[in-house]
């Protein structure tokens, strides 16, 4: 079995890389360690690079279609990774999960309809709903005993006749939860009773740590499968977000036909030639690579938890069950978010995401991306300790 090197330091500055090359313009410190944008600092696996190079050698990059191999790779990956049997007809290729969320909102709701989100949550959930002229309804997660849960009582109280959709983050970004079957079942029952379509963003579903298992929402029941849309992509898993290679899985034929018509109307079905190649290679050959990456990420998570416990106990790290994003509670320092952020950027020279961008419930928290070599993570944490102390 080939062993992959996740300790390798790969320079990314000067590659039009948002994570590194926007440090100066966005934060005023081009020398900071960037742990903000949710992509990895790991080399894309060789089998993906080889597939892209092989196709690039043909030297004509004209109109193309997605082959049987493309669809079969998705089907086999879902079966082998998540024990989920899907059919080819359920798959609709798209160009990115965020643009897909906006497209779904436009396809299935009208201006003035209400869409539920569950903050603190991925920022585009807010903007996609607002920019489409729909009403954001917030059903905040509850923080209890160091872990987040759904607030079902609040959810029931906020659904009315204008409520058309709930956007679920599964696994959750930024709090790192892998939702359990009983949690998803109860959420699903509430939505089914009120005829609310669930859109499940499952882009982090392959990045699951020991002791947890991702459950695709349609696996809960046939009834729920008939009232949901699942958004997925290999982009987070394989670090290929720049290749626009997402897709949706829609079990219900009528719901699927409506979205297929929407995509075709806007000519959003063609996709990116090299993204298609990368997706197929990733899902055909990537199982072992992902297992090794997840083990490395899990070790990074455990290192970070021990670091905060032993050296910076004022920082409380929410247990990260999935994703490579840590959710840090820094409220014990008694500093405002702006002051803490400037200390991190200007003094510690580390860039994290401010928690408030994920909703007001994130105030007092920061998100840290630990998909980086251990050496980089340790340096960033040491810098934070030197400035903030214990």
Residue-wise pLDDT tens digits, 33-89: 999 999 999 999 999 999 999 999 999 999 999 999 999 999 999 999 999 999 999
Task: Please compute Rg for the chain using Cα positions.
Answer: 21
Would the CA dihedral through 15, 237, 297, 1 be positive or negative? negative
Each residue's pLDDT tens digit, 88-138:
999 999 999 999 999 999 999 999 999 999 999 999 999 999 999 999 999
Q: Is the pLDDT of residue 385 over 90?
A: yes
389: pLDDT confidence band, cut at 50, 70 and 90? confident
Q: Is the pLDDT of residue 350 over 90?
A: yes
What pLDDT sits at residue 271? Answer: 80
Each residue's pLDDT tens digit, 264-314:
999 988 789 999 999 999 999 999 999 999 999 999 999 999 999 999 999
Q: Is the pLDDT of residue 390 over 80?
A: no
Distance CA 202, CA 205 (A): 5
Contact 12, 41 (CB under 8 A): yes
What pLDDT sits at residue 308? Answer: 98
Tell me the mean pLDDT in the region 323-341. Answer: 98
Distance CA 201, CA 168 (A): 6
What pLDDT sits at residue 317? Answer: 98
Q: Is the pLDDT of residue 263 over 80?
A: yes
Tell me the mean pLDDT in the region 204-225. Answer: 98
Query: Which domains are present in the chain?
Result: 18-45+287-388 (3.90.1150.10), 61-285 (3.40.640.10)
Each residue's pLDDT tens digit, 140-191:
999 999 999 999 999 999 999 999 999 999 999 999 999 999 999 999 999 9
């Amino acid at each position: 079995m080939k062993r992959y090197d996740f300790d390798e330091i790969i320079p990314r500055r000067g590659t039009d890389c948002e994570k590194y090359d926007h440090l100066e313009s966005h934060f005023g410190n081009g020398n900071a360690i960037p742990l903000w944008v949710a992509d990895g600092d790991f080399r894309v696996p060789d089998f993906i690079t080889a597939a892209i190079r092989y196709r690039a050698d043909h030297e004509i990059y004209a109109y193309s279609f997605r082959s049987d191999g493309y669809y079969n790779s998705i089907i086999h990956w879902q079966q082998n990774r998540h024990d989920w049997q899907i059919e080819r007809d359920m798959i609709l290729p798209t160009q990115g999960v965020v643009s897909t969320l906006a497209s779904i909102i436009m396809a299935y709701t009208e201006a003035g309809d209400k869409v539920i989100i569950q903050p603190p949550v991925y920022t585009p959930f807010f903007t996609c709903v607002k920019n489409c002229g729909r009403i954001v309804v917030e059903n905040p997660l509850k923080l209890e005993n160091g872990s987040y849960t759904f607030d079902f009582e609040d959810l029931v109280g906020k659904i009315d006749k204008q409520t058309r959709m709930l956007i679920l983050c599964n696994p959750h970004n930024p709090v790192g939860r892998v939702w359990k079957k009983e949690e998803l079942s109860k959420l699903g029952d509430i939505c089914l009773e009120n005829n609310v379509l669930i859109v499940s963003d499952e882009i982090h579903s392959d990045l699951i740590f020991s002791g947890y298992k991702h459950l695709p929402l349609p696996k809960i029941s046939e009834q729920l499968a008939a009232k949901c849309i699942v958004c997925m992509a290999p982009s987070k898993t394989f670090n290929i977000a720049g290749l626009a290679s997402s897709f949706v899985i829609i079990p219900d034929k009528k719901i699927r036909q409506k979205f297929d018509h929407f995509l075709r109307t806007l000519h959003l079905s063609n996709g990116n030639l090299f993204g298609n190649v990368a997706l197929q290679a990733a899902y055909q050959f990537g199982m072992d690579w992902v297992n090794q990456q997840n083990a490395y990420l899990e070790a990074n998570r455990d290192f970070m938890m021990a670091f905060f416990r032993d050296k910076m106990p004022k920082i409380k790290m929410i247990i990260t069950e999935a994703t490579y994003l840590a959710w840090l509670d820094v409220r014990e320092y008694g500093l405002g978010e702006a002051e803490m952020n400037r200390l991190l950027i200007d003094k510690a020279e580390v860039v994290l995401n401010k928690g408030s961008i994920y909703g007001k419930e994130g105030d007092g928290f920061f998100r840290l991306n630990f998909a980086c070599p251990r050496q980089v993570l340790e340096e960033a944490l040491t810098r934070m300790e030197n400035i903030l102390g214990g």
